[in-house]
Structure 1
Amino acid sequence: MKDLFSQRYGHQKKKMLSPQEMPDGLRNRLWNIIKFIMEKCKKSGNVGVIIAKIWDAFFKKDLDEIKECSLDRALENKIKPLFFSLKWYEVYNFIEFLIQEIKSIHLFTSAGITWLHEILISNINKIFEEEGVPYKIIDDYVTPFISEVEIEEIEKALKIDDKYEPVKKHLSGAIELYSKRPNPDYPNSIKEAISAVESLVMIITNGKSNKLSDLVEKLNIHKALKEAIKKLYGWASDEGGIRHGEKPTPSQIGQEDACFALAICSSIINYVISKYNLNSNKK
C-alpha cells in the first residue's frame, strides 16, 4: 500500500512498532487474514481438521466443546475470543502454528496452482510491512527483521540443492532459535549457523574435513578474499568463545551478533556452493 496524504506531506510519520507491541489494529488485520485463509480451506474440505488441531494442539482444549459447532461458529465463537486474548508473543506462536499446519497437509487454492501456505506468508509479511512490525516470516518462522539483502542471502541458502540437506537443517535450526519468543537463544543460533557451514564443507570434501579454511584454499579466488572469508567465519566460530562457551557469557551475545552470524554464514554457503560448482564444472 502506498503512503497516504498525511505521510507523503509529513503530517504523520510511519511508525515502527517495538518488538513487543501488539496494537488492536495489527491484531485485527492478522485475524482478518487468518479468517480469509480459513474460508479458502473450506473449499478443500480440510478446514475442520485445521480447526480441530488448533483447538487441541495449540489451545489444548477439550474437543467435545467444538464437536457440535458448525465450522463458522467454532471459528467465530470459540477460536476468535481466545486469539484476541493471547499475549503478543503467543499471537506469533499462533501464526507459526497455522503456517506449519497448513503446509503439512499440502493445501492448494481452488485454482490448484498457488499454495495457501505461500498466500498466508505473503499476506502476513505484507501486513507486517504496512503496520511497521519489526518481524518477517522466514522459513515459516516469525523472525526479527533483518535487512532485505540479508534476507535474500538466507532464503537463497535455504533453497540450495537437496544434496545439502544437513546444511539446510542446521540453518533452519539457527533461524528457529533466533526467532524464539519471548526468549530467543542467540548463542545456540550462532552455533547452528556455524554448523551449517561445517556441514557444507563435510559434504563437499566427502567427509575429509569440516574446516572452511581447507576448502577456501582450493577455490580459485584472490588471496585477500580467501583471508576475508576465513576471518569473517573465524569471528563467528572462535571470537569470544561463541563456539566453545568461553568468554563472553551468553547474556552478552545479542540479536545483532546472531543476525550477523546468520547473514554471514548464509552468504558463505551461497558463495562456496557457487564457486565450488563453477570450479567442478571446469574440471
Structure 2
Amino acid sequence: MTSSPQPPFSARAGGQHRQIEAAFPGTARSGLLHLLFDLVERRYVQDWTIIARELHRIGRLPLITYDSSSATSLKQARNDTEVALKSLDWQKMYDFCERLYNHLPEDIGFEDNYGNYTVEVSRKDAQSYIAAELQRLFLEEGLAYEFTDGAVRRRGRKHTVGVTVKSQVVLGDPQLLSARKHFDKALQFFRHPAKPDYENAVKEAVCAVEAAAKTLFPGAKASTLGDVIKWLGSTTDVSVPKAICQTLNGVYALRNGGDGVAHGGATGGKATVEVTEYILAVCASQIIYLVDLANAMEVDVPF
C-alpha cells in the first residue's frame, strides 16, 4: 500500500501556491541521490551497478560493464550514477523514478544451511518504502507531480484532489458510466507528467457534467448541457438557484468558446493549468450537486 506523507514544514511554511512543472531541479536530483544511498545501504536495491546501468539505459548513455564483486567497479558505478543524475533530461528523471519503484527492488533475506530461504523484507515492502520516500521528495521540492501506484502523475491542489475523489464516489453508480468515463479522461489529460493536455481536460470535465445531467434529469429531454440548464431554470420539479444555473452556464460556455477546447474558439480564454484545475474542481462539485439534487426530487430518478 502506498503511503501518503504530509507536506514537510518547509513546504507548508513556504506555501504551495506555485508548483514546479516541466523540470526536475538540482535540489530534487540531490535528494534523489540521498535516497539511492539509503536504498543501497538497506539492500532494497542490490548495488550501485544496477542503478547506474538503469540510468544509462534510460538516458541512452554508453553501455558500461560493471563487476559487482569489485570495490573499484562499485565505486565507478556510484560515480557514474551521480553524473547521470546531473545530466538526465527532466522527463527521463521521472521515468527513472518509476523504474526505481517497479523494477529495481528485490526481496531481502538469507539462506540457511539446509538451502531454505527466509525473506526478511519483501519486495512489496521495499516498494512501499520507495513510494513513500519519492512522494516525500516530490512534496519537499514543491513538484507539480505525485508518485502513486507506481507512476508519476500531476498532483493538483489538495482541494482539487479532495473534491475529484468525492465526485468519483458518486460517479461509481452504473447509471453514470458515461459521465465517469469522461471525467476519468479529464484527469488523465490533466495528470499526464510529460504532455498534459489542458484543452481536452477542460472539454472532458464539462462533458462529464453534461452526461451526468442528461442521465439524472430525463424529464428535461435534453441533448446538451445547455438544454438541461434551461430546464433546471424553468421547471417546477426542482428548485435551483439562478446563480447555480449561471455557474453551470459558465463552464459550458468555456467548453464551447475556450481556445482550442471544443469548437476551435479563439476568444473564450486559454486553458492554462490554473484554469484547468479550477474547471476540474468546479465540475466535480457540480456533479456532486446534481446527484444530490436528483436524489432529493420527489419524482422518480434513474437509481
TM-score, with normalisation over the residues of structure 1?
Answer: 0.61
2:252 maps to what in 1? Answer: 234
Deviation (angstroms), 1:168:
3.6
Deviation at 1:176, TM superposition (A): 2.9
Alignment partner, residue 87 of structure 1: 89
Alignment CA distance shift 1:172-1:82 (3 Å): farther
Q: How does 1:43-54 map to 2 (within 5 A)?
A: none
Structure 1: runs of 5+ lacking an equivalent: 44-50, 103-109
Alignment of 1:142 onto 2:153: yes
Counterpart residue number, 1:211: 224
Name the CA shift for 1:121/1:232 in 2 (closer, same or farther; >3 Å).
Answer: farther
Alignment RMSD:
5.2
- What per-residue deviation string (whole Å, max 9, x for no partner) do you get for residues 232-251 of structure 1? 3223322346321132499x
Rounded to whole Å, the distance in 1 between the matches of 2:182 and 2:79 is 40
Equivalences for 1:115-126 in 2 at 5 Å? 123-126=133-136
Aligned to 1:247: 266
Q: Deviations over 1:54-86 (max 9, x none)?
A: 79x96789xx999x979xx8x979988755542
**Residue-by-residue CA offset, 1:180-204 (whole Å, 9 max, x unaligned):** 4554322122122222223323543
> Does the 8 A contact of 2:225 with 2:252 survive in 1?
no
Distance 2:290 2:37 in 1: 43
Unaligned runs of 5+ in 2: 1-7, 46-50, 104-120
Which residue of the partner structure matches residue 275 of structure 1?
293
Computing the radius of gyration from Cα coordinates, the structure with the larger value is: 2
Structure 2 CA distance, aligned partners of 1:201 and 1:39?
55
User: Which deviations, in whole Å up to 9, do the C-alpha atoms of 1:72-103 show, x marking residues without a partner?
Assistant: x8x9799887555421232234445667x58x
Alignment of 1:1-283 (within 5 A): 1-3=8-10, 18-30=20-32, 85-95=87-97, 123-131=133-141, 133-137=142-146, 141-143=152-154, 146-159=156-169, 160-161=171-172, 163=174, 164-204=176-216, 209=222, 211-215=224-228, 217=232, 220-240=238-258, 242-248=261-267, 252-279=270-297
Q: Distance in 1 between matches of 2:214 and 2:89?
A: 43
Matches of 2:64 and 2:215, distance apart in 1: 51
Letter of the 1:88 counterpart = W
Cα 1:186/1:34, change in 2 over 3 Å: farther
- In structure 1, C-alpha distance between the alignment counterparts of 2:294 and 2:43, rounded to whole Å: 43
Structure 2 CA distance for partners of 1:17 and 1:277, relative to 1, 3 Å: closer
Q: Using the alignment, how far apart are the partners of 2:182 and 2:265 within structure 1?
A: 22
Residue 225 and residue 246 in structure 1: after superposition, are their counterparts in 2 closer, same or farther (change >3 A)?
A: closer
Q: Which has the higher helix share?
A: 1
TM-score by length of 2: 0.58
Query: Using the alignment, how far apart are the partners of 1:33 and 1:209 within structure 2?
Result: 55
> Equivalents in 2 of 1:21, 1:258: separation in Å?
20
Q: Which amino acid aligns with 2:172?
A: D
Per-residue deviation, 1:36 = 7.0
- The 3 A distance-change label for structure 1 pair 262 and 95 is farther
User: Partner of 2:146: helix, strand, or coil?
Assistant: strand
| Aligned-partner Cα distance in 2 for 1:220–1:185 | 36
Structure 2: distance between partners of 1:89 and 1:254: 20
Which amino acid is 1:211 matched to?
T
After superposition, the Cα gap between the structure-2 partners of 1:14 and 1:230, relative to the gap in structure 1 and judged at 3 Å, is closer
What secondary structure, in the 3-state scheme, does the structure 2 residue paired with 1:253 have? coil
User: Identity, % of aligned pairs?
Assistant: 19
Aligned length: 258
Inter-CA distance 181–212: structure 2 relative to 1 (3 Å threshold): same
Structure 1 pair 188–42 and aligned structure 2 pair: CA distance change class (3 A): same
